[in-house]
A and B are shown apart, each in its own frame.
Chain A
Amino acid sequence: MLADLLLIAMNGLVWGMAVFLVASGLTLIFGILHILNFSHGGFVMIGAYLAFTLMNMLAGSVGIVAFILIAFACAAAVGLMGFVVDRVVFERLKRVDDSYSLIATYAVLLLCEGFVKTAWGPNFQSVYPPSGLEGAVFLGNLFMPSYALFVIGAGVIVFLVLDFWLHRTPSGKIMKSVAVDPWMASLLGINVNAIFTVAVVGGFVLAGLAGGLLAPNQSLSPMMGGVYIIQAFGVIIVGGIGNVRGAFIAAILLGLIDAFGTVYVPQFPGIFFYVAVAVIILFRPQGLLSGIH
């Protein structure tokens, strides 16, 4: 009984950390630029497809270290795309109404899907976990796939690094100051546009990293960008939009609710995520935490 509960909880955590990996970059960009980036899921998808290609090039002999390095390479490549998107799209969105940023970033998502269809074709692809993570381990009498544990670890590490950076380092504090009051920051000699660019590139790096790390978790298709973005939006709205800590807490919470809901009410798989988002927003429209943290 206890083992069953633990297993469900662990499944919830895996789901939560996977979604947090996706949501972290989304919430970072919103927290600093106040732009809701619909294309974020598209870049997670590109990251996953890049990982697919790189792992195929290594022909099946990818170890854990190589796998992580591949994820970093995907992060770097998508970060570079972020620089271009910032120059071409986001730069123009700062001076216009919010609704334009939804339209523009949705258009970028469509471009991502078109790019993936052109480069990798419309068919489903799959990526095997790296060697060393394809098995499973016993935790007491709990049987967990090693790759699932890896995803949990990756989510926690990304959260800790981001949180430490935003709260404890000088560059993180500058980032937060620009988020809180960009006008005053510019009076103090801070090049606010440069900081915005760093935030966008950072958000895209996180998207690429999420794509690379999560590639083995699912079948890759040109539609996966849109699927990811819905769950990630739910997590950042519940967490308090723009708030990294909030997103982390919300990802765990929603992951657990969805996992337990699906087990105990199997007639409605997947609906508990949406119900939980709706109920939480009803009682805390500003999200669990507010402001950028």
Chain B
Amino acid sequence: MLELLNVNAFYGQSHVLHDVSLRLEDGAGVAIVGLNGMGKSTLLKSIMGAGPRVTGTVRFDGQDIGRLAPHQRARLGLSLVPEDRRIYPHLTVSENLALAGHAKIAGRAPYSVDEVLDFFPLLKKLAGRKGFQLSGGEQQLAAVARSVLAKPRLLLLDEPTEGLAPLIVDNMGEEIRMLRKREGMALLIAEQNVDFARDCTEHVLVLNVGRITFSGCWAEFDADPGIRERQMSL
């Protein structure tokens, strides 16, 4: 479904990703773990074409999408939730969700706003609230809800649990697992919370100073405690 070949990413003069190659099968769930500043966010933004200058090949369903604008990638079925949430303060939760209808994918009916609100019971009672009235956790939940409205085929989540209360983290995890199962949605998630990442995915990548230094299933990751010691100092 998603294929990266020798992807390098740059912000101005700084070279953030070095020859990253990876494959994501249809419906697969992959966690990217690693310390802050190792390039996790840059990797997700490079896939979406939303920020860094990127060289190398990015393919989605065999199509080279490297020159497409972010909104075109969104309409192919990629959806990114950025780390800073970016809920629109002047719009209500419902209006924020509805905005994602612009990423409607050809031949795939999006969810209605009400359907999405049904998935996220904590959000439902906040539907009429404006973005600026939400707490950080509520904004995060709204951002994830907004990102699934168009029924994306690949969800890219950047640190979704950062700063969230445990109850909200549990709720979000459940919804993400349910949506993956229900729609066959693939997931690429950058996450420091290893337990949350493990609950949502089957595979794991370690990103260290812009290079992939480990790639395997969670059992392999857990079998070698040295990985954590060496790569992540967790």
Query: Considering the chains assembled together, what is the distance between the CA atoms of A188 and B102 in angstroms?
Result: 6
Those of A179-193 within 8 Å (CB) of chain B: 180-181, 183-193
CA distance A183 to B95 in the complex (A): 17
B126 CB-CB contact with A under 8 Å: no
The 8 Å CB contact of B99, one of A183, A190, A192, A193, is A190
Are B104's CB and A189's CB within 8 A? yes
CB closest chain-B residue, reference A190: B102
* Docked complex Cα distance between A189 and B110 (Å): 13
A185-212 contact mask (Cβ, 8 Å, vs B): 1 or 0: 1111111110000000000000000000
Please report the C-alpha to C-alpha distance between residue A190 and residue B80 in the assembled complex, in whole angstroms.
14
Task: Specify which chain A residues have a CB less than 8 angstroms from the CB of B172 in the assembled complex.
Answer: none
Question: Contact string, B65-90, partner A, CB cutoff 8 A, digits 1/0?
Answer: 00001110011000110100010111
Compute how far the CA of A176 lies from the CA of B95 in the bound complex, rounded to whole angstroms: 12
Whether the pair A180, B90 counts as a contact (CB closer than 8 A) is yes
**Complex contact A187–B74 (CB within 8 A):** yes
| Among B50, B89, B91, contact of A186 (Cβ-Cβ < 8 Å) | B50
Q: Report yes or no: B70 in contact with A173, Cβ–Cβ below 8 A.
A: no
* Pick from B51, B69, B90, B103: contact of A188, CB under 8 Å: B103
Q: Is B141 among interface residues, defined by CB-CB distance under 8 A? A: no
Residue A146, interface by CB 8 Å: no
Asked if B48 is at the interface (CB within 8 A of a chain A CB), the reply is yes
* Interface members, chain A 4-50 (any B CB < 8 Å): none
Q: Assess whether B88 is in contact with A177, with CB atoms less than 8 Å apart.
A: yes
Contacting pair A188 B75 (CB below 8 A) = no
Interface contact tally, CB-CB below 8 A: 59
CA distance A181 to B87 in the complex (A): 9
A183 to B, closest residue via Cβ: B50
- Which residues from chain B contact A158 at a C-beta distance below 8 Å? none
For chain A, the bracket of interface size reads: 10 to 19
Structural contact, A188 and B100, CB atoms closer than 8 A: yes
Cα–Cα, bound, A180→B130 (Å): 14
Q: Are B99 and A174 interface neighbours, CB within 8 A?
A: yes
Residues on the B chain within 8 Å of A186, using CB: 50, 69-71, 74
User: In the complex, how many angstroms separate the beta carbon of B38 from the nearest chain A beta carbon?
Assistant: 22
User: Within the assembled complex, what's the spacing in Å between the Cα atoms of A191 and B51?
Assistant: 16
Could you tell me which residues of chain A, from 209 to 254, have a CB within 8 Å of some CB in chain B?
A: none
Kindly state the interface size class of chain B when it binds its partner: 20 to 34
Contact present for A189 and B82 (CB under 8 Å): no
B146 / chain A contacts, CB cutoff of 8 Å: 188
Q: Assuming the A-B contacts A187-B48, A188-B103, A189-B102, are A173 and B71 also in contact, with contact meaning beta carbons closer than 8 angstroms in the complex?
A: no
Known: A174-B99, A177-B99, A183-B50. A189 touches B86 (CB 8 A): no
Complex: how many Å from CA A194 to CA B30?
34
With contacts A187-B74, A188-B74 taken as known, whether A181 is within 8 angstroms of B104 at the C-beta atoms is: no
Would you call B48 and A173 a contact (CB within 8 A)?
Answer: no
Query: Contacts A173-B91, A173-B95, A186-B50 hold; do A191 and B71 have CB atoms under 8 A apart?
Result: yes
Bound complex: CA of A190 vs CA of B75, how far in Å?
9
Which residues of B have CB within 8 Å of A177? 88, 90-91, 99
Q: Does B150 belong to the interface (CB within 8 Å)?
A: yes
CB-CB contacts below 8 Å: B85-136 with A = 86, 88-91, 95, 99-104
B88–A189 touching, CB < 8 Å: no
B residues 41-80 in Cβ contact with A at 8 Å: 48, 50-51, 69-71, 74-75, 79-80
Bitwise interface map of A from 142 to 180 toward B, beta carbon under 8 Å scored 1, else 0: 000000000000000000000000000000011011001
- A187→B71 CA distance, assembly (Å): 6
Q: B209 to nearest A CB, angstroms?
A: 26
* A185 contacts across to B, CB distance below 8 A: 71, 99
A185 to B104, CA, bound (A): 14
Distance (whole angstroms) from the CB of A246 to the closest CB of chain B = 15
Q: List 5 A-B contacts (CB under 8 A).
A: A181-B86, A183-B50, A188-B99, A188-B100, A192-B71
Interface residues of A (CB under 8 A from B): 173-174, 176-177, 180-181, 183-193
Known A180-B89, A183-B86; further 11 A-B contacts with Cβ < 8 A:
A176-B90, A177-B88, A177-B91, A177-B99, A183-B51, A185-B99, A186-B50, A187-B80, A188-B103, A189-B75, A189-B103
